[in-house]
């Protein structure tokens, strides 16, 4: 049997070291690739969030405009009802006053005949 000498151990250690260094380089490449992919995914997610925020802000502005238009329409309708009620009330008061005048004139005419 042959006993391992220092040269054999050195060659074995050297081969193991090369294999370990190659594995380290592969792992470093994998880490770099994963980091790059993570950064790309993060950037894409940020873009999606920004797009969603922009869309939501657009929706908010549109809804605010709709609210303003509806509020204006409701206020206009309420004022029209108030105006119509006041006009009807004024017409009724005028009619009542006219009827009182007619009653008074008829009463005066009846008293004059009697």
- pTM of the complete model: 0.56
Q: How many residues does the chain have?
A: 114
Asked if residue 64 belongs to a domain, the reply is: yes
Q: How many domains does the chain have?
A: 1
Tokens of 43: 């950037």
- Position 104 in a domain: no
Q: Is residue 52 part of a domain?
A: yes
Please list the pLDDT of the chain residue by residue as tens digits (114 residues). 555 555 666 678 888 999 999 999 999 999 999 999 999 999 999 999 999 999 999 999 999 999 999 999 999 999 999 999 999 999 999 999 999 999 999 999 999 997
Structure-token match 């950037």, residue found: 43
Per the structure, the complete domain to which residue 27 belongs is given by: 1-84
In a domain, 41, yes or no: yes
């Amino acid at each position: 049997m042959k006993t391992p000498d220092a040269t054999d151990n050195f060659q074995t250690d050297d081969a193991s070291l090369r294999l370990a260094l190659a594995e380290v380089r592969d792992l470093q490449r994998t880490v770099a690739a994963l980091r790059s992919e993570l950064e790309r995914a993060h950037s894409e997610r940020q873009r999606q969030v920004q797009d969603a925020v922009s869309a939501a802000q657009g929706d908010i502005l549109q809804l605010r405009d709709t609210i303003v238009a509806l509020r204006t329409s409701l206020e206009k309708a309420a004022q029209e009802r108030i105006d119509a009620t006041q006009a009807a009330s004024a017409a009724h008061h005028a009619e009542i006053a006219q009827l009182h005048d007619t009653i008074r004139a008829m009463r005066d005419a009846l008293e004059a005949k009697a």
